[in-house]
């Protein structure tokens, strides 16, 4: 019998890529999503890619009764992967209560429903933002966490602390937090990828939208950081590599292979690339020039973030293997395919 996994936020960017990897590894997936920043069409795309349409429940996880009802229906699930969250950093600074309300109330309802139904495994979608401005690099899981500068980031840090407390109060509940560095790229089918609503906050979609003519030019936020070329360094990781790590985390939880009831893993490549490295890679793989301008620093940006990857390698048997050029090309292929599809829809031809 296939093991059932509940995936909250499974229609979103990282969620949908993870659902595909789960289905391809023979899991029975139930997606819970309120479609607040995604579309039900993702289910059709998952069907096209995998031949399986996951079970879907349109539930707002802030609604405690509805959350408990859907969990009761799927109480035979072996684990939950909790992606559902708002994620726009700038919006969270302007409207912190919306972020704390959404990201933390939904987490609390999911954890309560999970415990009520004796589902033992929980995987949390966390972020390297919990490290704040690290004092040592590469960042290991032992680095102290710091208060992130945004309510979004802080909601991830508080969520990890809530999970830790819940684990300590329970005998049979296990959790893994996965701290993502900078996910980019898209599924090789070109059928799913990142679709930021409105103006992108993140570098990669801003680059691809600029090249696609949707944005006029990329603003590079500062070139006076203490790095090799003055622009900040990040650890960009392909979303499919990231998705595969979730499948390994699910296996580790279900097979009770954990060293401790609550484990934390960094998910990055271990390689740091500057903003100019990413631009140069984009210009190389597309053989074109990108319109960009150096402007003021963006408040809250840290100079350098890249992961120590040994723990995930040793314990999950996972490592990311795509190069920067491959990741950048993957993002560009998705942008182009998506735009082409949109324009053929507008001109009336079928997708």
Catalytic residue ranges: 152
234 binds ligand UD1 (CB under 6 A): yes
70 vs 207, which CB is nearer to ligand UD1?
Answer: 207
202 binds ligand UD1 (CB under 6 A): yes
104 vs 115, which CB is nearer to ligand UD1?
Answer: 104
Q: How far is CA 295 from the centre of its chain?
A: 27
**What is the total count of residues that contact ligand UD1 (CB under 6 A)?**
21
96 binds ligand UD1 (CB under 6 A): no
Considering only residues 70 through 89, tell me which ones interact with ligand UD1, judged by CB under 6 A.
87, 89
109 binds ligand UD1 (CB under 6 A): no
215 binds ligand UD1 (CB under 6 A): no
74 vs 234, which CB is nearer to ligand UD1?
Answer: 234
Site of tokens 């829809």: 345
209 binds ligand UD1 (CB under 6 A): no
Interface residue with ligand UD1 among 9, 15, 232, 270 (CB under 6 A) is 232
Rg, the chain, Cα only: 20
Interface residue with ligand UD1 among 80, 218, 307, 312 (CB under 6 A) is 218
122 vs 292, which CB is nearer to ligand UD1?
Answer: 292
* Least Cβ distance, residue 87 to ligand UD1 (angstroms): 6
Contact segment (CB under 6 A) with ligand UD1 among 111-119, 190-198, 202-210, 323-331 equals 202-210
Considering only residues 286 through 315, tell me which ones interact with ligand UD1, judged by CB under 6 A.
298, 300-301
Provide CB contacts within 8 A for 276, sequence distance 6+. 220, 223, 229, 231
122 binds ligand UD1 (CB under 6 A): no
* Least Cβ distance, residue 324 to ligand UD1 (angstroms): 13
251 vs 298, which CB is nearer to ligand UD1?
Answer: 298
261 vs 300, which CB is nearer to ligand UD1?
Answer: 300
Other Cβ atoms less than 10 A from the Cβ of 323: the count is: 12
238 binds ligand UD1 (CB under 6 A): no
What residues line the site for ligand UD1 (CB under 6 A)? 87, 89, 127, 129, 152-153, 182, 201-203, 206, 218-221, 232, 234, 275, 298, 300-301
């Amino acid at each position: 019998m296939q093991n059932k996994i509940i995936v909250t936020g499974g229609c979103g960017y990282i969620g949908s890529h993870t659902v595909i990897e789960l289905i391809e590894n023979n899991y029975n997936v139930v997606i819970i999503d309120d479609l607040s920043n995604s579309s039900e069409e993702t289910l059709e795309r998952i069907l096209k890619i995998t031949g399986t349409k996951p079970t879907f429940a349109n539930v707002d996880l802030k609604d405690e009764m509805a959350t408990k009802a859907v969990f009761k229906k799927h109480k035979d699930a072996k684990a939950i992967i909790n992606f559902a969250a708002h994620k726009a950093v700038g919006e969270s600074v302007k409207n912190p209560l919306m972020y704390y309300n959404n990201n933390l109330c939904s987490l609390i309802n999911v954890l309560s429903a999970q415990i009520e139904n004796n589902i033992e495994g929980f995987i949390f979608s966390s972020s390297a933002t919990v490290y704040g401005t690290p004092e040592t690099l590469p960042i290991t899981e032992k680095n102290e966490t710091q208060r992130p500068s945004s309510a979004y980031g802080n909601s991830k840090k508080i969520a990890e602390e809530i999970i830790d407390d819940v684990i300590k109060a329970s005998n049979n509940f296990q959790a893994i937090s996965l701290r993502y560095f900078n996910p980019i790229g898209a599924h090789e089918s070109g059928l799913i990828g990142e679709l930021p609503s409105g103006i992108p906050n993140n570098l990669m979609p801003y680059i691809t939208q600029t090249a696609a003519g949707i944005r006029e030019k990329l603003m590079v936020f500062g070139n006076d950081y203490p790095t090799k070329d003055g622009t900040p360094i990040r650890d960009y990781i392909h979303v499919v590599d990231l998705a595969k790590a979730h499948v390994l985390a699910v296996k580790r939880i279900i097979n009770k292979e954990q060293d401790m009831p609550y484990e934390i893993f960094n998910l990055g490549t271990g390689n740091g690339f500057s903003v100019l490295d990413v631009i140069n890679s984009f210009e190389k793989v597309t053989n074109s020039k990108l319109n960009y301008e150096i402007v003021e620093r963006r408040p809250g940006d840290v100079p350098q973030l890249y992961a120590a990857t040994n723990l995930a390698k040793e314990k999950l048997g996972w490592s990311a293997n795509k190069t920067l050029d491959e990741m950048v090309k993957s993002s560009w292929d998705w942008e182009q395919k998506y735009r082409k599809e949109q324009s053929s829809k507008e001109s009336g031809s079928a997708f």
